[in-house]
Amino acid sequence: MAAYIGTATSRVDGVAKVTGAAKYAAEFNVSGLAHGSVVCSTIAKGRITRIDTSAAMRVEGVLTVLTHENRPPMPDNDQAYKDEVAPSGSPFRPLYDGRIMFNGQPIGLVVAETSDIARFAASLVRVEYDEEVHVTDVYRQRDQAVPPKPPTNPFEAMFAPPKARGAPEQSLAAAAVRHEGEYYVPIEHHNPMELFASTVIFESNGKLTVYDKTQGVQNVQKYLCGVFGMKPEDVRVMSPFMGGGFGSGLRPQFQVVLAVLAARALQRSVRVVLTRPQMYVLGYRPAMIQHIAIGANAHGTLDAITHDAVTVTSQYEDHHRQETGWSGLLYKSAHAKYEHRLARLDLATSCDMRAPSAASAVYALECAMDELAIALELDPLELRLRCYSDRDQHDDRPYGSKALRECYRQGAEAFGWDKRTPEPRSMRDGSDLVGWGMATGVWEALQVPITVRIVLTADGRAEVACATSDIGTGTYTIMAQVAADMLGLPLDNISVKLGDSSLPQSPVEGGSWIAASVSNGIVTTADAIRDELLRLARQMPNSPLANAAPHQVALSDGRLVSKRDASRTVSIADVMRHGAVDRIEMEKTTDPGHDATRANNTHAAIFAEVKVDEQLGVIRVTRVVSAVAAGRILNTKTGASQILGSVVGGIGMALHEETLIDHRFGRIMNANIAEYHVPVNADVHDIKVIFVDEPDDSNPLGIKGLGEIGIVGVAAAIANAVYHATGKRVRDLPITLDKLQGDGR
Ligand code: MOS
């Protein structure tokens, strides 16, 4: 075993991607394809009183204009529109009625022979509204924010705040040293490179094949069946490749509804691609206003921590995660309390964006810890070590594994942290102020039920299939690696099928749970293949494995081999020939269950260096070291890329990213990647990723997942470095020149 697991294996889909052979949702072509262009509302709240499509209809090449007035029937109950990760509330129904709930809401679809014609005609649709007063400013609504409704199902229950412990108010009041602060994370957008797109192939019998940009093909399939009253066997959803999701593709997007609506109305194949501004309409990281108070004793251990937060959602759904509880988890503190409220705004529902809740909440916690360290005159790393928690304090249980101490040690050493001088403005490089900051990251290590099918053929090849997605994280590659090792075959002999709703069951690819889920799922199914091979092998005359039990046998180098005595072996080809089978197919579901006795988390220590031009205030993040403890790393190359990309996302959070709304119109002003700033190459300097050793037996392969841990804490490490460089504490993100040079909030 382990010829491939743990190695720096290049992407098995790399050649397909760089040669353009990998096709994305908007690239599947079929003859007679019609093209849809979405018409969006220009007000934030109210009702459509008149919608005039006549000018659009007169354009040559226009096939139809669908609006709430002429659309085919749609269900009138919320349940039909619920996808597998829908929050509580009433999901948005595209083109359902004339009610407007957010600016940019899709209100029509123009379908034409070409996308250019559709887009031009869409500009001719005239709409009149009865406008109502809207609110889109979280600061205006914070006092009206309400606690989330009690959870109604186990999925929602995962996001209820943890129970408070001790007497936090009293111990805060009595603490020798206190720090309190308010921190702000603005609305951010995912901005994946690939636009949301759906190509709906309409077959003569009414069946649909939908190429959709999504993180969950079966989620979209189930959703379409609900919205259109179709049977699963009549809707096949495919997403073989995805050009970035970061959470924006967890829930079905509205263009897939519009494309299917049009395809069924016209009995014709239809494609709908959103424009970049339309990408900003549905789903964003909720803004978060948060207040943290920490009480410590003079020795630098914590007495109490409280974390209050207001996050943003729509008027129609209560999206939130378990935002505040990270504070009572990460550091040892006898007293802790959390409060979370939702500001309902006239925007679309917020959604998950890479490390939802932790990316925002741990930013605040880790800045607050930095400020506490200053108050205590302690090195910020030393403070974290003094408060280190070996137990999950929410449920008073041990961790399956927690190598965070080792992250601190290896990260600090690689960074050279011991050369830091504590005083702000005390380090310089020519005319630049130099700042060094650090922070901790934490995320969950989850495993979810999943089904994997393996077909082994007598030519020594295997196909591994699961309906999961590869959202760019490298799922194809790790699936091939694990299957190759478990089946004892060369990597090139494994083909991976995913991103197809007709394949065995998988949840959405999110929450960093797919690597652990699908890999351990492959182990289960590969074991079943081995068992069948052994059954056949034992029937061979003078079988060297006649008395071997399944767990005593491994598949290696194309052979069944006794683990006790390597001379007892027989080739897979011989076994299959003798058994007169040319293929063995197994499909198994792996349900990890729920082990409540241990906590499963990933951790990271992030060290950042910034250089700040004193005259101009320009901040450059010149170095980042991220030391990550995430169990067994399946692929050090694609794994390190996950962390690198996350660190870049963290640089964006710290210095660049902010969705700006003109509250007079409730409209996003910078809905494009020229004005919504993300880090570009010139903003990304030296980033070093370290994976510390973290043996874990919580699942057979000891995997924890890497998709999200890399972003958590990065913005705080940078914010803390900016303070160390300049002596100026900016508590609302992003840290821009005006805030650094101005008086601050
Ligand atoms: Mo992730 S934000 O669960 O795609």
How close is the Cα of 403 to the center of ligand 1, in Å? 24
Question: Are 41 and 105 a contacting pair, CB within 8 Å?
Answer: yes
Cross-sheet strand order for the sheet of 235-238? 62-67, 106-112, 34-40, 270-273, 197-202, 208-212, 235-238
The mean pLDDT of 687-694, rounded to a whole number, is: 98
Q: Using most ligand atoms within 8 A of CB, pick from 189, 284, 321, 354 the residue to mutate for ligand 1.
A: 354
| C-beta of 352 in contact with ligand 1 (< 6 A) | yes
- β-pair partners for 607: 438, 625
Ligand 1 nearest-atom number relative to CA 355 = 2
SS3 readout for 435-478: EEEEEEEEEECCCCCEEEEEEEECCCEEEEECCCCCCCCCHHHH
Per-residue model confidence as pLDDT tens digits over 660-676: 999 999 999 999 999 99
Residue 517 has pLDDT above 50, yes or no: yes
| C-beta of 354 in contact with ligand 1 (< 6 A) | yes
| C-beta of 250 in contact with ligand 1 (< 6 A) | yes
| C-beta of 356 in contact with ligand 1 (< 6 A) | yes
Ligand 1 nearest-atom number relative to CA 512 = 3
Residue 231 has pLDDT above 50, yes or no: yes
Range 662-682 burial, b when 16+ CB lie within 10 A, else e: eeeebbbebbeeeebbbbeee
- Side chain identity at residue 234, one-letter code: D
| C-beta of 510 in contact with ligand 1 (< 6 A) | yes
Ligand 1 nearest-atom number relative to CA 246 = 4
Backbone angles phi, psi at 219, to 5 degrees: -65, -45
Per-residue model confidence as pLDDT tens digits over 734-745: 999 999 987 644
pLDDT of residue 2: 72
Residue 405 corresponds to which tokens in the numbers above?
């101490």
How close is the Cα of 622 to the center of ligand 1, in Å? 28
Q: How far apart are CA 469 and CA 448, in angstroms?
A: 14
What is the residue-averaged pLDDT of the chain? Answer: 96
How close is the Cα of 463 to the center of ligand 1, in Å? 27
What is the sign of the dihedral through the CA atoms of 63, 68, 69 and 71?
A: positive
Give the DSSP letter of residue 322.
Answer: -
Question: How much of the chain, in percent, has pLDDT values that exceed 90?
Answer: 96
pLDDT of residue 192: 96
Q: What angle do CA 419, 424, 429 make, to 5 degrees?
A: 60
The mean pLDDT of 126-154, rounded to a whole number, is: 93
Per-residue model confidence as pLDDT tens digits over 56-70: 999 999 999 999 999
Ligand 1 nearest-atom number relative to CA 351 = 2
Q: What angle do CA 259, 264, 267 make, to 5 degrees?
A: 115
Question: Are 252 and 214 a contacting pair, CB within 8 Å?
Answer: yes
| Residue 433 host element (H or E) | strand 432-444
Q: How far apart are CA 714 and CA 699, in angstroms?
A: 28
Question: Are 255 and 223 a contacting pair, CB within 8 Å?
Answer: no
How close is the Cα of 720 to the center of ligand 1, in Å? 26
Range 337-373 burial, b when 16+ CB lie within 10 A, else e: bbebbbbbbbbbbbbbbbbbbbbbbbbbbbbbbbbbb
Residue 387 has pLDDT above 90, yes or no: yes
How close is the Cα of 353 to the center of ligand 1, in Å? 6
Q: Using most ligand atoms within 8 A of CB, pick from 284, 352, 517 the residue to mutate for ligand 1.
A: 352
| C-beta of 319 in contact with ligand 1 (< 6 A) | no
| C-beta of 353 in contact with ligand 1 (< 6 A) | yes
Question: Are 614 and 453 a contacting pair, CB within 8 Å?
Answer: no
| Residue 536 host element (H or E) | helix 514-538
Q: How far apart are CA 558 and CA 301, in angstroms?
A: 56
Q: At what angle do helices 358-376 and 714-726 cross, to 10 degrees?
A: 30
pLDDT of residue 745: 45
Residue 332 corresponds to which tokens in the numbers above?
């040892």
- Full DSSP string of 363-383: HHHHHHHHHHHHHHT--HHHH
Ligand 1 nearest-atom number relative to CA 353 = 2
Shortest-distance Cα residue to atom 4 of ligand 1:
247
Ligand 1 nearest-atom number relative to CA 509 = 4
Q: Using most ligand atoms within 8 A of CB, pick from 250, 251, 709 the residue to mutate for ligand 1.
A: 250
Residue 71 CA neighbour count, 13 Å, CB half: 23
- Full DSSP string of 620-683: EEEEEEEEEE-BS-SBHHHHHHHHHHHHHHHHIIIII----EETTTTEES--STTTS----GGG
Backbone angles phi, psi at 456, to 5 degrees: -100, 130
How close is the Cα of 512 to the center of ligand 1, in Å? 7
Closest CA to 571 of 548, 549, 540: 540
Q: Using most ligand atoms within 8 A of CB, pick from 357, 360, 514, 708 the residue to mutate for ligand 1.
A: 708
Residue 156 corresponds to which tokens in the numbers above?
């929602």
Cross-sheet strand order for the sheet of 177-185? 177-185, 288-296, 302-313, 333-344
| Statement: the pTM of the whole predicted model exceeds 0.85 | yes
- Say which of 194, 317, 694, 708 is annotated catalytic: 708
342: left (phi over 0), alpha (psi -120 to 50) or beta: beta
Range 136-165 burial, b when 16+ CB lie within 10 A, else e: bebeebeeebeebeeeeeeebeebebbeeb
- Side chain identity at residue 519, one-letter code: S
Q: How far apart are CA 584 and CA 457, in angstroms?
A: 6
Residue 589 has pLDDT above 70, yes or no: yes
Q: Is 233 a catalytic residue?
A: no
Residue 325 has pLDDT above 90, yes or no: yes
Q: How far apart are CA 28 and CA 26, in angstroms?
A: 6
How close is the Cα of 487 to the center of ligand 1, in Å? 31
The mean pLDDT of 218-235, rounded to a whole number, is: 98
How close is the Cα of 114 to the center of ligand 1, in Å? 34
| C-beta of 247 in contact with ligand 1 (< 6 A) | yes
How close is the Cα of 511 to the center of ligand 1, in Å? 5
Q: Which domains does the chain have, with CATH numbers?
A: 19-133+193-244+249-281 (3.90.1170.50), 143-188+284-446+597-741 (3.30.365.10), 448-590 (3.30.365.10)
Ligand 1 nearest-atom number relative to CA 356 = 2
Three-state SS for 261?
helix
Question: Are 545 and 537 a contacting pair, CB within 8 Å?
Answer: yes
The mean pLDDT of 26-51, rounded to a whole number, is: 97
In sequence order, the 6+-apart residues with CB closer than 8 A to the CB of 738 are none
pLDDT of residue 744: 47
| C-beta of 435 in contact with ligand 1 (< 6 A) | no
pLDDT of residue 398: 97
Ligand 1 nearest-atom number relative to CA 247 = 4
Question: Are 80 and 242 a contacting pair, CB within 8 Å?
Answer: no
| C-beta of 511 in contact with ligand 1 (< 6 A) | yes
The mean pLDDT of 372-395, rounded to a whole number, is: 97
Q: How far apart are CA 310 and CA 129, in angstroms?
A: 31
pLDDT of residue 153: 75
How close is the Cα of 513 to the center of ligand 1, in Å? 10
**Residues 253/257/259/263 CA torsion (nearest 10 deg):** 160
> First CA to last CA across the chain, in angstroms?
57
Shortest-distance Cα residue to atom 3 of ligand 1:
510
Residue 290 has pLDDT above 80, yes or no: yes
The mean pLDDT of 282-311, rounded to a whole number, is: 96
| Residue 226 host element (H or E) | helix 217-228
